[in-house]
Structure 1
Amino acid sequence: MTYQEAVEKIDSRLLFGMKPGLERMRALMDELGGPQEKVEFVHICGTNGKGSVCALVSSVLKESGYKTGLNISPYVLNFRERFQIDGQMITEEELAGEMDVIWPAVERLDARNIVISEFELVTAIALHWFAKKGCDIAVLEVGMGGLHDATNVIPTPAAAAVMSISLDHTAWLGDTVEQIALEKSGIIKRNGRVVLYPEQQYGVTEIIEGVCAERGAELHIPDIRQTQVWTEGVDGTDFVMGGIKLHTPFMGWHQINNAAVALELVKVLREQGFNISEENLAVGFKKAFIPARMELLSERPLCLLDGGHNPGCALALRGVLERYVPERKVAIMGMMADKDSAAALEILGPMFSKVITVRPDNPRSLSAEDLAATAARFCPEAVPVGSCREALDMALEDVSDREALIACGSFYLAGELRPLLLEKFPAR
């Protein structure tokens, strides 16, 4: 089949929605010969910080000479971002070839009334491709939750991480952080090795400790008290951690915690026999990259693009703005209707002199008018517009070279805006 046909078949599974549970995924893996058994993994779950740690760890492993897969969710600009080996996306031809193998297995399961969802299919493509290409190790980002997430079909990974946990996907995971922590603890395998993000809401650490004790898993919690920050700004942070001088291109104090988790994961991998030098570590950290995660696109005017979509992300962005962006700030904002826009705007709205709202091109998105009405409760001025290009034109008319433009609220918005921003700001 062609690449376009492959994408259309993947999209066709969206009709079946999200379907927690591993029975279907296990059946699909059996049909495909158990590709999840042929690769080592680093498995990362949590509400916030997963993407940063995935980027850091996969970059370090690549620099260390390991053929490294990376499976992320969601993508920002190109669907193929979800499948990477050594920093390179799967080609269109390879993705079509994967579907030539996997789609007949999906149809065989359909005939048995075992219906594979879109995310299960995407995960299967990643696992099968990593095994086929002979990856030494792959870094997997959990899609939602943990216990019932499709990525949890893997055996005990070389290392796992539970990142910062806060309220998100409450309809599926529970409406307290304790319930969500219990769901996410499902990635902890018997006799596994787990790194826990060091600053958690009350009750989370105790739950993870209890699950680790029950399953005989090693628990590692980074100690960041000895971290020394040398310089910090919108272009990243230089710091010393564990006696190693490091630079992360990701901004914000919360990224120190993320870096601590990544460093602890590297220590665990070393204990499993992975040969990772301090130079590999330093270079890997420095080269790590994620689009649309507090991404600096311009310095005059200062332009940040952030796809974070929950209150935890909003708090992290506010922290960055308070710490590094004292100038006047105008926002372009778009959000999904199923996200807590009021909570996000209560946190971020007072930071902006003006919010320009737009509806991202997605059926689940909130209208620009409804988002503007919410924004007006927290910000001096809120203006709905009809398109991302109109929003950007309006924002640039209103922002001087000494001020700041912040685009935030959704990865779907980020995916539409980023190419337009790169047209305006082609090189830093």
Structure 2
Amino acid sequence: MTTAHVSEAGQEIDKLLALHPKGFDLSLDRITRLLEVLGNPQDKLPPVIHVAGTNGKGSVTAFSRAILEAAGLSVHVHTSPHLVNWHERYRIGKKGGRGALVNDTVLADAVRRVAAANGGQKITVFEILTAVTFVLFAEHPADVAIIEVGLGGRFDATNVIKAPAVSVIMPISLDHQAYLGDRVELIAAEKAGIMKRGCPVVIGHQEEDAARDLLVATAGRLRCPVSVYGQDFMAHEEYGRLIYQDEVGLADLPLPRLPGRHQHANAAAAIRACRAAGFDPTEEAIETGLTTVEWPGRLQRLTEGKLVSMAPKRAEIWVDGGHNPGAGQVIAETMANLEERDPRPLFLIIGMINTKDPVGYFKAFRGLAEQVFTVPIRGSDAGIDAVALAGDAGEAGFEATPLETVAQALATISELFSGDPASPRILIGGSLYLVGDVLADNGTPPR
């Protein structure tokens, strides 16, 4: 993603990016070798909640963190990718309070030590940064560590954790087909690779029966205690409240702070994951977690900032980094729900990278969005050209205009509403890279 300024840690990581290949090389051999040199810090972590999935893994990570912190626990959190600064990948737990992004000096030192331990051998930068996660989390005491899978599961660099407190598999759909396969059950098999024999498993809501059936079968083969959404735990909205149920009983909870009906199932998976991991947060802690949770760049509303000031007055501006057809569907559903309560014309400002399915993403918004503006992704070799992306939007049935920047798109929308008392709803998304650029340019990076 974008880096707002070159920090000390950023300089160290830039050196690694110049030395080692970008992207992914799905194997555990290099990370295992490096971790052995470092003294196997992955074996010295607090109980681990390990989270995989195509969509929703970030939300369940955020919910789990918020609930456990509300319970007074110190919670380490590893997520990827970052939006603006590398430090976002490493949140260090604090006893009795909210954790904080890692200090720049501490991160720079850890990166240097891990790079030195690697000794110049062939490795990817993601593997080095994953080793940094284990070093940081082993050296800073905490009650629990939530670790998000980067890509897939079976051969992801995070999958060296021998006995997680719980493995969580969130919704699976087609994504990263070049690495994971072109059928949902093949992708599910890769995600299921984070399950460990005898360790608890939580399976979030799955739209595809083939994915759910494979995950359940794998958990059974490994003799894992398994909880399946819709069978062993569930949640639904009733009279403006979230009703959650599992074997413990019913809980009448506030609706999650994160917008969208899909967040009901994500919140339910987080509650179940915390319990399956051996923690027993009170209903009060769960309520606090659901109402204070934060997840930047995912259906995040921007209300102030440099870019916001370029939009029409009273415009409602949302950013979301969802980038595949499954994500498009849940984002579009949320936009439709907003339209029911507060009708406004919806405009899309979209940038995507070339490993995605742009036509499938755009189709989710048919009958909902009035117009699409496509933009390039700054500084990415993998970004789809704005003209080509406009063609993809046209194939999905939209009038689309290619532009150079998000700021130019906002200015164009402002011109359309010049002198018009109506105010639009604007969704900026299609890529976490684009959302990172927007948050940096707007002056509102994650904290």
TM-score (norm: length of structure 2): 0.87
CA shift at 1:157, angstroms? Answer: 0.7
CA shift at 1:416, angstroms? Answer: 1.4
Specify which of 415, 423, 428 is matched with residue 436 of structure 2: 415
CA shift at 1:48, angstroms? Answer: 0.3
Contact 2:67/2:289 (<8 A) preserved: yes
Specify which of 296, 302, 327 is matched with residue 301 of structure 2: 296
Write the letter of the residue equivalent to 1:10.
L
Partner of 1:262 in structure 2? Answer: 270
Report the more deviating stretch, 117-126 or 399-408: 399-408
Structure 1 residues 167 and 13: alpha-carbon distance in aligned structure 2, compared to 1, 3 A threshold: farther
Partner of 1:235 in structure 2? Answer: none
Contact 1:10/1:122 (<8 A) preserved: no
Contact 1:356/1:395 (<8 A) preserved: no
Q: Distance in 1 between matches of 2:207 and 2:370?
A: 32
Partner of 1:319 in structure 2? Answer: 333
Please list every run of 5 or more consecutive structure 1 residues that lacks an aligned counterpart in the other structure. 232-237, 424-428
Please list every run of 5 or more consecutive structure 2 residues that lacks an aligned counterpart in the other structure. 1-6, 94-98, 245-249, 304-312
Q: Distance in 1 between matches of 2:113 and 2:42?
A: 16
Instruction: Output aligned runs, 1:1-400, within 5 Å.
Output: 2-12=8-18, 15=21, 17-39=23-45, 40-86=47-93, 87-107=99-119, 110=121, 115-223=122-230, 227-231=236-240, 238-241=241-244, 242-269=250-277, 272=278, 274-298=279-303, 300-325=314-339, 326-361=343-378, 362-399=380-417
Contact 2:234/2:265 (<8 A) preserved: no
Q: Distance in 2 between matches of 1:186 and 1:57?
A: 21
CA shift at 1:420, angstroms? Answer: 4.2
Structure 1 residues 300 and 420: alpha-carbon distance in aligned structure 2, compared to 1, 3 A threshold: farther
Structure 1 residues 118 and 229: alpha-carbon distance in aligned structure 2, compared to 1, 3 A threshold: farther
CA shift at 1:411, angstroms? Answer: 0.7
Q: Distance in 2 between matches of 1:161 and 1:285?
A: 18
CA shift at 1:226, angstroms? Answer: 6.1
Structure 1 residues 311 and 159: alpha-carbon distance in aligned structure 2, compared to 1, 3 A threshold: same
Structure 1 or 2: larger helix share? 1
Contact 1:350/1:379 (<8 A) preserved: no
CA shift at 1:16, angstroms? Answer: 5.1
Q: Distance in 2 between matches of 1:170 and 1:378?
A: 21
Contact 1:331/1:395 (<8 A) preserved: no
Contact 1:245/1:282 (<8 A) preserved: yes
Contact 1:146/1:183 (<8 A) preserved: yes
Deviations 1:302-361 (A, max 9, x none): 211111011110011111122222421111111101211111112225422111111011
Structure 1 residues 83 and 228: alpha-carbon distance in aligned structure 2, compared to 1, 3 A threshold: same
Q: Distance in 2 between matches of 1:7 and 1:349?
A: 41
Structure 1 residues 254 and 14: alpha-carbon distance in aligned structure 2, compared to 1, 3 A threshold: farther
Number of aligned residue pairs: 409
Contact 1:350/1:378 (<8 A) preserved: no
CA-atom RMSD in angstroms:
2.0
Structure 1 residues 250 and 123: alpha-carbon distance in aligned structure 2, compared to 1, 3 A threshold: same
Report the more deviating stretch, 281-290 or 123-132: 281-290
Q: Distance in 2 between matches of 1:304 and 1:146?
A: 30
Q: Distance in 1 between matches of 2:134 and 2:226?
A: 26
Percent identity over the alignment is 30
Structure 1 residues 227 and 380: alpha-carbon distance in aligned structure 2, compared to 1, 3 A threshold: closer
Question: Secondary structure, in 3 states, of the residue corresponding to 2:258?
Answer: coil
Partner of 1:404 in structure 2? Answer: 425
Write the letter of the residue equivalent to 1:392.
L
Q: Distance in 1 between matches of 2:391 and 2:10?
A: 39
Question: Secondary structure, in 3 states, of the residue corresponding to 1:172?
Answer: helix
Deviations 1:21-58 (A, max 9, x none): 11111111111111111112100001000000000101
Q: Distance in 2 between matches of 1:61 and 1:13?
A: 39
Write the letter of the residue equivalent to 1:290.
W
Write the letter of the residue equivalent to 2:287.
A
Partner of 1:234 in structure 2? Answer: none
Structure 1 residues 75 and 65: alpha-carbon distance in aligned structure 2, compared to 1, 3 A threshold: same
Write the letter of the residue equivalent to 1:321.
M
Write the letter of the residue equivalent to 2:239.
W
CA shift at 1:139, angstroms? Answer: 0.5
Q: Distance in 1 between matches of 2:440 and 2:10?
A: 21
Contact 2:251/2:283 (<8 A) preserved: no
Write the letter of the residue equivalent to 1:381.
E
Q: Distance in 2 between matches of 1:196 and 1:54?
A: 14
Write the letter of the residue equivalent to 1:61.
L
Q: Distance in 1 between matches of 2:112 and 2:13?
A: 12
Write the letter of the residue equivalent to 1:171.
A
